[in-house]
Structure 1
């Protein structure tokens, strides 16, 4: 089940952490993976690891917020692999910069960092691939989001949450528009992941982990398995949905 042979998957932000786990799992399921990252060395490292493991992958470093750079990079990767993107995983979402603080401490310039990445970054990559998916009569879009999009938290992520809330709304409307063409669009809302330590001090991470029923941070390959389902033929009856994958936190 959930075999992806013959499919091309673009995973943004796949040069480390959760994105890397998704790329590795999709490749193991048979997809050829376009590994995107802002930094070329990270994208190349993951693509090389996939190739070493017997999978198919190419690296495609570009900034997802820059449509003029993203589109030619995706087209070049598609040409190298001999097929258009069938599966898009919009995972890039942790903006660089000093934005992880209470709203009252942010300047208007700092508002834009996570919002541009989470909204315009996903809009750009979706725009690049959606026409080919619809014309082919098959496609999968998986938007990585967060419980922060729907739950208020006093952890300094209001702008990140604003971006995730906005892109979740877009995906629901997109699903309604393109379902008739055999294209599904779903949201996987993650809980706290292993990369949390890169944005928060250890004592804050420890306190947050104590609130997770399973008692640990998320595992990249577990997330990859969920993405593989949403990318497969077997998920064709599911679209426009938000699936919480959070270790039991923020249950509703």
Structure 2
């Protein structure tokens, strides 16, 4: 079950944290993984970790907000693997300027970055892989989202939440367009993760019913299901992965 042998995957933002966990999990199930990151050293380190464990991976360094760079990176992965990409996991979502703060204090030149990486980044990546998937009659698109897409917060993350809301809507519409071609499209909305910075980690964990933060392994396991043959009837959905902090 959940066997991905012979499949190829691209995971964006896979050089650390949840993205690295996703790449490792897909590789462990047999997929060849193109490990994307904006920082070459991070992509190379995760790729090496996977290959050292007996998996197959290659680093592909590009900025998801640059369509031509995305196309070149996808072409590189296709050449390395000798076939098109079957699985896309768009995980990259945190720009250098996160745009955090009360909206009324944010200058307009800070509004674009979260939208560019989350929404236009997803569009760029889907554009580069969807044609091959539809032609082949099989494909999996998994968008990593956040509870911030549907739950308001006073934490100064309105730009990030708006971007995630937008990309979830994009994925829902894609699911309807691609379903006749055997291609599914789903979002995975994450709760607080173990890479949260600062000394308040334990405080955050106490607010979660499971009394712990999410881990890269938790995220990787959920993505493996969504990317698997067994998930062929799961499309157009947003699944919450948050330790019960928000229920639906």
User: Shorter-chain TM-score category?
Assistant: over 0.9
Matched, 1:3 2:3: yes
Secondary structure at 1:5's aligned position in 2? coil
**How far did residue 98 of structure 1 move?**
5.1
Matched, 1:238 2:240: no
Residues 185-200 of structure 1 mapped to structure 2, 5 A cutoff:
185-197=185-197
Secondary structure at 1:59's aligned position in 2? strand
Q: Deviations over 1:20-52 (max 9, x none)?
A: 000001000000000000111100000010000
Query: Is contact 2:98–2:160 with CA below 8 Å preserved after alignment?
Result: no
CA distance in 1, matches of 2:102, 2:202: 20
**How far did residue 77 of structure 1 move?**
1.4
Find the counterpart in structure 2 of residue 15 from structure 1: 15
Residues 87-126 of structure 1 mapped to structure 2, 5 A cutoff:
87-97=87-97, 99-126=99-126
CA distance in 2, matches of 1:134, 1:17: 30
Secondary structure at 1:45's aligned position in 2? helix
Query: Is contact 2:98–2:114 with CA below 8 Å preserved after alignment?
Result: no
Find the counterpart in structure 1 of residue 213 from structure 2: 217
Secondary structure at 1:96's aligned position in 2? coil
Secondary structure at 2:184's aligned position in 1? strand
Residues 1-252 of structure 1 mapped to structure 2, 5 A cutoff:
1-97=1-97, 99-197=99-197, 201-203=198-200, 205-252=201-248
Give unpaired runs (5+ residues) of structure 1: none
Secondary structure at 2:57's aligned position in 1? strand
RMSD: 1.0
Give the TM-score, by structure 2 length: 0.98
CA distance in 1, matches of 2:128, 2:107: 32
Q: Give the direction of change, closer, same or farther, for the CA distance of 1:123–1:251 in structure 2 (3 Å limit).
A: same
Identify the range of structure 1 (14-23 vs 153-162) with the bigger mean alpha-carbon deviation: 153-162
CA distance in 2, matches of 1:243, 1:49: 29
Identify the range of structure 1 (108-117 vs 168-177) with the bigger mean alpha-carbon deviation: 108-117
Query: Is contact 2:145–2:188 with CA below 8 Å preserved after alignment?
Result: yes
**How far did residue 95 of structure 1 move?**
1.2
Give unpaired runs (5+ residues) of structure 2: none
Aligned length, in residue pairs? 248
Secondary structure at 2:141's aligned position in 1? strand
Secondary structure at 1:195's aligned position in 2? coil
CA distance in 2, matches of 1:182, 1:62: 28
**How far did residue 194 of structure 1 move?**
1.6
